[in-house]
Chain A
Amino acid sequence: MAKKVFSRPKCLKEAIFHYCPGCGHSIAHRLVAEVIDELGIRGTAIGIPPAGCAVLAYNYLDVDMIEAQHGRGPAMASGIKRMLPDGIVFSYQGDGDLAAIGIAESFHSANRGENITIIFINNAVYGMTGGQMAPTTILEQKTTTTPGGRNKTSEGYPVKVCELLSSLDGTTYIERCAVNSPAGVNKTKKAIKKAFQCQIDGLGFSLVEILSPCPTNWKMTPIDSCKWIDTTMSKVFPLGVFKDNTTAVKKSREAAS
């Protein structure tokens, strides 16, 4: 008898992903679904998809979901979580959604220490609208709106979300991962699980940034896209845990009670 080592997560619907071949969203969706299954939070989870390629995340994730206008996921998540403290509330956001149009909402929900989880997909480009510059587009990177490459004097610098938000006292757990290798995928899943656990334990704001390939808009093969994350993207956006106050917050809670 063969041992079953892999199957479709229960809370991933029987639907075919609309994502391009080699796109990181499908992996990230599966990881979120697996974590929800493993933590047994399907019945209390409420997800908020972004405007962007992942806008249709509710077609795949079998949990209660409500769409947010572009960038407003963290504001909506704040309203939901405040009225439903036992719910497990997460927003799933792209780089434009979180770091450009919605930077105020993500920054301030983090600063308030909202007990929510953000899954942040960074692919250094605007995917759904066809490959324009994102706030995370790296210097010299060519996009349809930076045809000569991103120029620091006219377009500024890539926004480093983990570095920025981890400096806020309100945040508890922040990690950057990548889904460009089996090891990276495993690490990402661990990070997502830890982020959700952080929320379940009531420890405060958690965010996992996922460097994610976008072969279509990078105009690369999926394999080259994975390599580019290693050789170039992760040099600008280094992987690792930027903040982990889970133990400290837990201890101070215990001391207080």
Chain B
Amino acid sequence: MNKVLMSGNNIIGEAAIRAGCRFYAGYPITPQNELTEYMAEHLRTVEGGVFLQSESEIAAIHMITGASATGARVMTSSSSPGISLKQEGISSMAACELPGIIVNIMRGGPGLGNIRPAQGDYFQATRGGGHGDYRTIVFGPATCQELADLTMDAFDLADKYRTPVMILADGMMGQMMEPVIFKKPKPRQYNEKFMLRGAGHGKSKIIRGLILDPIDMEEHNWKLARKYQVIIDHETLHEEYKTEDAKLVIVAYGTSARIAKGAIKRLRDKGMKVGLFRPITLWPFPELKLRKLAEKINNFLVFEMSTGQMLEDVRLALQGYADIGFHGRPGGVVPTPAELANVVARHYEKKD
């Protein structure tokens, strides 16, 4: 397979179709329109592929829920304000244990905000986002190659755990192009007993999240919680970059992690031993791996394009064992590696 140069939005679409996504519903919103357009253009050329431009983000999430119930691989995408609208459906998918992929190409917020890259939806994504006691698996890709790989993996995980999975990227990741190689998708494993396709001559099925008896509802909640624990135990992903000899470790994900790597190169040129811890799954957060790092390093700096959201997960993971600084640029500002390097240098010297 040759390298191709594609934008992040198009890569997600192509990876999804290769992974067997056959139903997409969405409503245009910048900066992810290219993904919606890609699905419109390409799903119609695939056998059994259906693209639906929905009347709203709310309708889109419920359309994919219906399509998912029939057993299809499904996806919807949007950007921050649209993802807020989808929360009702994401909660419902989690409750009904239906797989599906939700892509959030984040922009500046709150409210309408702007269309520049930002990371202000971390809380919403990693805490469930909608009502009720649930989580969604959240990937935070940092390169176009990762967008391709993780989009494919997202479909497998959604099936495996019968749960919605979110790809959390930002306007920069959606718009930028990088060379990418699409891997071969794995064969799908999803049991027909979970599909709603008409009762035939058999027993009729019900898919529902309404459980009026509190004891039964409690059991359903614990069942979901046990599933989430299995996900926590088996599915965390992270990258460590130059942490072996580091005296300070930056914790950043997605676009922020790219900027952090740029800063680290500059700092290392000046002799400062700085490394990067990059969570790839944002939920489950790789907290044990981060805590392990604190056994030898006690100076951390969290960097986000927000006022500090993942910061809380880092604090929870490090449990007071290390010092944690923070640098944030919310609102759609993408800082330069030089700026971050200066901030890190200040924290670095503070410890020596």
B55 pairs with A67, CB closer than 8 A: no
Q: Scan residues 104-132 of chain A and give those whose CB is less than 8 A from a CB of chain B.
A: 104-105, 107-108
Q: How far is the CA of A68 from the CA of B208 in the complex (A)?
A: 8
DSSP class of A's interface residues: helix, strand, loop or mixed?
Answer: mixed
A87 pairs with B204, CB closer than 8 A: no
Question: For A64, what are the chain B residues with a Cβ–Cβ distance below 8 Å?
Answer: 196-199, 204-206
A62 pairs with B204, CB closer than 8 A: yes
B63 pairs with A78, CB closer than 8 A: yes
Q: How far is the CA of A45 from the CA of B60 in the complex (A)?
A: 23
Let me know if A156 is at the binding interface, CB within 8 A.
no
B59 pairs with A104, CB closer than 8 A: yes
B66 pairs with A78, CB closer than 8 A: yes
Interface stretch of the complex, out of A69-77, A183-191, A215-223, A234-242: A69-77
Q: How far is the CA of A42 from the CA of B200 in the complex (A)?
A: 7
Q: How far is the CA of A61 from the CA of B96 in the complex (A)?
A: 19
Determine which residue in B52, B65, B72, B204 has the highest number of CB atoms from chain A within 10 A of its CB, and name it.
B204
Let me know if B201 is at the binding interface, CB within 8 A.
yes
What is the chain A residue whose CB lies nearest that of B198? A44
Instruction: Evaluate whether A76 and B65 lie within 8 angstroms (CB atoms) in the complex, with A65-B204, A69-B88, A87-B198 already known.
Output: yes
Let me know if A39 is at the binding interface, CB within 8 A.
no
B206 pairs with A80, CB closer than 8 A: no
B63 pairs with A79, CB closer than 8 A: yes
Query: CB within 8 A of A77: which of B22, B66, B199, B209?
Result: B66
What is the chain A residue whose CB lies nearest that of B64? A79
Let me know if A82 is at the binding interface, CB within 8 A.
yes
Let me know if A203 is at the binding interface, CB within 8 A.
no
Let me know if B229 is at the binding interface, CB within 8 A.
no
Instruction: Evaluate whether A75 and B67 lie within 8 angstroms (CB atoms) in the complex, with A64-B197, A65-B207, A69-B88 already known.
Output: no
Q: Scan residues 134-176 of chain A and give those whose CB is less than 8 A from a CB of chain B.
A: none
What is the chain B residue whose CB lies nearest that of A84? B70
1/0 per residue, CB under 8 A from B, across A36-72: the answer is 0000001111101000000100100111111111001
Question: For B144, what are the chain A residues with a Cβ–Cβ distance below 8 Å?
Answer: none
Question: For A66, what are the chain B residues with a Cβ–Cβ distance below 8 Å?
Answer: 66, 69, 96, 196, 206-208
Let me know if A83 is at the binding interface, CB within 8 A.
yes
Question: For B200, what are the chain A residues with a Cβ–Cβ distance below 8 Å?
Answer: 43-44
Q: Give chain A nearest CB distance to B57 CB in angstroms.
A: 11
Let me know if B243 is at the binding interface, CB within 8 A.
no
Question: For B88, what are the chain A residues with a Cβ–Cβ distance below 8 Å?
Answer: 69, 72
Question: For A80, what are the chain B residues with a Cβ–Cβ distance below 8 Å?
Answer: 66-67, 69-70, 196
1/0 per residue, CB under 8 A from A, across B40-72: the answer is 000000001010101110111011111111111
Question: For A65, what are the chain B residues with a Cβ–Cβ distance below 8 Å?
Answer: 204-208
Residues of A within 8 A of B (CB-CB), count:
33
A43 pairs with B63, CB closer than 8 A: no
Question: For A43, what are the chain B residues with a Cβ–Cβ distance below 8 Å?
Answer: 198-201
Let me know if B25 is at the binding interface, CB within 8 A.
yes
Let me know if B23 is at the binding interface, CB within 8 A.
yes
What is the chain B residue whose CB lies nearest that of A59? B206
Q: How far is the CA of A76 from the CA of B69 in the complex (A)?
A: 9
Instruction: Evaluate whether A79 and B207 lie within 8 angstroms (CB atoms) in the complex, with A42-B199, A66-B66 already known.
Output: no
Question: For A107, what are the chain B residues with a Cβ–Cβ distance below 8 Å?
Answer: 55
Q: Give chain A nearest CB distance to B161 CB in angstroms.
A: 19
A82 pairs with B23, CB closer than 8 A: yes
Let me know if B210 is at the binding interface, CB within 8 A.
yes
Q: How far is the CA of A143 from the CA of B22 in the complex (A)?
A: 46
A78 pairs with B52, CB closer than 8 A: yes
B59 pairs with A72, CB closer than 8 A: yes
B63 pairs with A63, CB closer than 8 A: no
Instruction: Evaluate whether A45 and B198 lie within 8 angstroms (CB atoms) in the complex, with A67-B210, A83-B23 already known.
Output: yes
1/0 per residue, CB under 8 A from A, across B160-178: the answer is 0000000000000000000
Let me know if B89 is at the binding interface, CB within 8 A.
yes
A79 pairs with B198, CB closer than 8 A: no
7 closest A-B pairs by CB: A79-B66, A76-B66, A79-B63, A79-B67, A75-B62, A108-B55, A72-B62
Residues of chain B touching chain A, judged by Cβ–Cβ distance below 8 Å, are 22-23, 25, 48, 50, 52, 54-56, 58-60, 62-72, 74, 88-89, 92, 96, 196-201, 204-210
Residues of chain A touching chain B, judged by Cβ–Cβ distance below 8 Å, are 42-46, 48, 55, 58, 61-69, 72, 75-80, 82-84, 87-88, 104-105, 107-108
What would 6 more interface pairs be, CB under 8 Å, given A68-B62, A69-B88, A76-B63? A44-B198, A44-B200, A48-B66, A66-B66, A67-B209, A79-B70
